[in-house]
Structure 1
Amino acid sequence: MNVFSALKLYITKMTEESGPGMKVLLMDKQTTSIVSNVYSKSEILQKEVYLFERIDSGAQPEGLRHLKCIVFLRPTAENISLLCRELRCPKYGVYYIYFSNIIAKADIKTLAESDEQEVVREVHEFYADYLALNPHLFSLGINVCVQDLRWIPTHLQRTAQGIISVLLSLRKCPFIRYQGGSDMSKILAEKIRETFSKESNLFDFRQELNPLLLIVDRRDDPVTPLLNQWTYQAMVHELLTINNNRVDLSHVNGISKELAEVVLSAEHDEFYAQNLYLNFGEIGQMIKTLMDDFQKKSKKNQKLESIADIKNFVEMYPQFKKISGTVSKHVTVVGELSSLVGKHNLLEVSELEQELSCQSEHSTQLQKIKKLINDSRVRDVDATRLVMLYALHYEKHSNNDITGLLDMLKKKGVPATYTKLVYSILEYSGVHARQSNLFNHEGVSKITKKLFMGLSGVDNIYTQHKPLLVETLDDLLKGRLSTQTFPYLGNMVMSKRPQEIIVFIVGGATYEESLAVNNWNKQNPGTKIILGGTTIHNFQTFTEEIQSATNSITRRYRSRNN
């Protein structure tokens, strides 16, 4: 199971089935992101695709009838309407149409009626309706899927379609288990089963590895997306934000135009692929090694003393230029991360975050939070997340001082949009909302410090926290996952333990959970797990989800606890 390979295979087939000749790729906003995540522009140019157009752009290019048009769209009502308009007045010679998901027969008929000039050669369903971020990780790009603790109907539909697409692209018809205490998980599971029944011919696969779809709810583990991260990919997303493999660095002082936006793709960047799961200190060592290697090659290429030297340099120049770009990109990214860590005292903040998530020492932790709130270096966002973690952990503690900490945040000048999050997180994911006891760590040994080497300014950082997903997967694969906590949908119960598991997190996954799944796959070669979510959260996007989920009902929590 590899979602990256599945999507790349579809897009390769699209570009090749139309045969040789110059082509244009006509897409919508979502399919543009889907393609750009798995194919670089230079790669797709090699497939004779020389023009990229958006169906909703309104542009009217002329004189392009010599081009073949590959259409790749989501089968939405809007896209069907736009495509019908395109076919009535075709700008290109012939059209090969591919939909990213199941399309209704009525829509096919509508398109056929619009094809008055008979320019359409083929119409296919290619199930590429999701964003592949890593081989084991996918997202649907829905930052906010819930309002007032209920599905936003359009996002429920989009989520079900996305998961169906993943299953069809991987050729899986799995058993379904869902989080029993989560209405949203159950509703999504039932929506998926409806499609199984309606489109049963599409799911008639020969299967030998007992696939399972496990649907869990973000509300059961609010701690993971609240924490600062210390592995490369997760840290970049937390501090700089990764959006469709792109990182905006335009805010960095003195940044060059070429580095204002950088692409971090494991498929197209060997250094990133090899190091995205390393911790911050290890990345420092790898950056130093990368720079040393580049400097050696650079000095070697300065000695152009013969025609043979010049010839060799010209032959090596594209690779040399690529290495130069890789060095510049990662030095810039890591330099900015290092600057933010020092400027905002993130080491001390993160250490306390880990203690709040893994230990119960109320009075000591309360004093440390107060100290950091009063530290001028600590950002409003970090002071807020510390109080949110404290509130989650000590919500029912007889001496909790949530109100006092909120007063300190207000005195610090923290905006109301942040201070309101403390009550919102308790409404969203307090004790009343969770199935699991996140803070029962009696059997966990004391936090141990891991020394991060190789990067100036990095001393000791705690990395004790493990997402709840790790425990859930462990119980599942050892046959201990309760069918009351995670019931099967319908009367179908697996007789054997699953060997292929698709985990989907309603309300968004995180890169920390992606790291856990990657490690699990490495350590358990007999089992394959992929992870998906409505989005991939950092703290900022998670707070947007919480605000939407609780915006009109947070007062209920206050009245219940006053």
Structure 2
Amino acid sequence: MSMDSDSSSSFPFGGADQRSFRQITRDRLLFEMLRSTRKSSKSTWKVLIMDKFTVKVMSFSCKMADITEEGVSLFAYSCPTCQEKPPLYKKAYVFFSSPVQRELVAHIKKDSTVLTRIGALSEMNLEYFAIDSQGFITDNDKALEELFSESAEGSHKYNACLNMMATRIATVFASMREFPRVHYRVARTIDASTLTTLRDLVPTKLAASVWNCLSRYKSTIPEFPQTETCELLIVDRSIDQIAPIIHEWVYDAMCHDLLCMDGNKYVQEVPSKNGSANERKEVLLEDHDPVWLELRHAHIADVRLMYGCMKR
């Protein structure tokens, strides 16, 4: 792990693997998780049970058709108990999105009534949202408040937020089978009389936590690299104080600013064909839409010109 002052680095995705970031995530969910159950199960159809977080993880990378093609006939969001008599499900294939406590695994192994119904027990290490082909988020909209506000000093939320972000960032590299060399911006004081605050130490603490997670992967994930394969740069907003007050004028940013979107979903009201009340229509602005791919990173003025050409 390295300590940097002001530096920049590119972020290579997947080494020699030329799949997009979202495609890597999709393949892990569909093939590494869902399709793996076919090896030990004679059932054609399965029930997929997820919590709210993993529902969002999957929805960012997979379509409903992708999931049903893997033999999923029913979705549920609450977990059935293994104590049902007779059991409602013959086998349970359990996949954890993050590392699971060893004590819990030991407890499951000791319970013979549960163990006989477990078809698989595996850690996916997949806790991020692939928002496009080359980007992801850790989904913590309170991170700015919990890490940089005045009340963050001495708050238990500070460490909890850092640990959660570090775990989710590390799962990105678990999915890509990459072991990064971690660079981070060191806290620098103006003079010896200025105290270093927890806010100044965010990059340092986050880098240390990410590194600890990655180091554990070396012994827990099959075929995980044992030496560094790429670069990870961790900095805070202080290196670029202008960007937060500059409004983005690209089409993607304008859509999210003006359309009150829910993630990548935009709901609009359109006149009904029979002349009655307006109908609600959902539009997904995603990579499968060729128009969205062409326009998303263009300046809004250029989009108007291109849109005018397409209409003509």
TM superposition score category, shorter chain reference: 0.7 to 0.9
Q: How far apart, CA to CA, are the structure 1 residues paired with 2:111 and 2:289? A: 43
Q: How far apart, CA to CA, are the structure 2 residues paired with 1:205 and 1:16? A: 21
1:93-172 matched pairs, under 5 angstroms: 93-113=90-110, 116=113, 118-145=116-143, 146-147=145-146, 148=149, 150=152, 152-172=158-178
Q: Secondary structure at the match of 1:152?
A: helix
Match of 2:279?
257
By how many angstroms is 1:135 displaced?
Answer: 1.7
By how many angstroms is 1:92 displaced?
Answer: 2.4
Q: Cα 1:179–1:112, aligned 2, differ >3 Å: closer, same or farther? A: same
Q: Cα 1:242–1:112, aligned 2, differ >3 Å: closer, same or farther? A: farther
More helix by share: 1
Match of 1:186?
204
Q: Which amino acid aligns with 1:240?
A: L
Q: TM-score, structure 1 length as denominator?
A: 0.43
Contact 1:87 1:115 (8 Å CA) reproduced: no
Q: How well do the aligned residues superpose, as a CA RMSD in angstroms? A: 2.8
Match of 1:45?
68
Q: Cα 1:25–1:290, aligned 2, differ >3 Å: closer, same or farther? A: farther
Q: Secondary structure at the match of 1:129?
A: coil
Q: How far apart, CA to CA, are the structure 2 residues paired with 1:91 and 1:21? A: 16
Q: How far apart, CA to CA, are the structure 1 residues paired with 2:158 and 2:67? A: 36
Q: How far apart, CA to CA, are the structure 2 residues paired with 1:172 and 1:134? A: 19
Contact 1:228 1:238 (8 Å CA) reproduced: no
Percentage identity across paired residues of the two chains: 22
Question: Are residue 86 (structure 1) and residue 84 (structure 2) matched?
Answer: no
Q: How far apart, CA to CA, are the structure 2 residues paired with 1:22 and 1:198? A: 35
By how many angstroms is 1:115 displaced?
Answer: 6.3
Contact 1:232 1:280 (8 Å CA) reproduced: yes
By how many angstroms is 1:174 displaced?
Answer: 1.4
By how many angstroms is 1:242 displaced?
Answer: 4.2
Q: Secondary structure at the match of 2:26?
A: helix
By how many angstroms is 1:17 displaced?
Answer: 1.8
1:156-235 matched pairs, under 5 angstroms: 156-181=162-187, 182-202=200-220, 205-206=224-225, 210-235=229-254
Q: Secondary structure at the match of 1:18?
A: helix
1:424-482 Cα shifts (integer Å, max 9, x gaps): xxxxxxxxxxxxxxxxxxxxxxxxxxxxxxxxxxxxxxxxxxxxxxxxxxxxxxxxxxx
Q: Cα 1:207–1:273, aligned 2, differ >3 Å: closer, same or farther? A: farther
Q: How far apart, CA to CA, are the structure 1 residues paired with 2:307 and 2:163? A: 44
By how many angstroms is 1:270 displaced?
Answer: 2.1
Q: How many residues align?
A: 261
1:95-494 matched pairs, under 5 angstroms: 95-113=92-110, 116=113, 118-145=116-143, 146-147=145-146, 148=149, 150=152, 152-181=158-187, 182-202=200-220, 205-206=224-225, 210-249=229-268, 256-259=278-281, 261-266=282-287, 268-291=288-311
Contact 1:228 1:235 (8 Å CA) reproduced: no
By how many angstroms is 1:219 displaced?
Answer: 3.8
1:197-252 Cα shifts (integer Å, max 9, x gaps): 444314774489841111111243343233322211111122234443223447x9
Q: Cα 1:243–1:221, aligned 2, differ >3 Å: closer, same or farther? A: farther
Contact 2:22 2:133 (8 Å CA) reproduced: yes
Q: Cα 1:111–1:18, aligned 2, differ >3 Å: closer, same or farther? A: same
Q: How far apart, CA to CA, are the structure 1 residues paired with 2:48 and 2:112? A: 19
Q: Cα 1:265–1:256, aligned 2, differ >3 Å: closer, same or farther? A: farther
Q: Which runs of 5+ in 1 are unaligned?
A: 56-82, 293-562
By how many angstroms is 1:291 displaced?
Answer: 4.7
Contact 2:47 2:76 (8 Å CA) reproduced: yes
By how many angstroms is 1:288 displaced?
Answer: 4.1
Q: Cα 1:7–1:115, aligned 2, differ >3 Å: closer, same or farther? A: farther
Q: Which runs of 5+ in 2 are unaligned?
A: 1-12, 14-19, 188-199
Specify which structure has the bigger relative contact order, considering alpha-carbon pairs within 8 angstroms and separated by 6 or more residues. Answer: 1
Q: TM-score, structure 2 length as denominator?
A: 0.73
Q: How far apart, CA to CA, are the structure 1 residues paired with 2:112 and 2:59? A: 29
Q: Secondary structure at the match of 1:93?
A: coil
Question: Are residue 35 (structure 1) and residue 58 (structure 2) matched?
Answer: yes
Contact 1:176 1:212 (8 Å CA) reproduced: yes
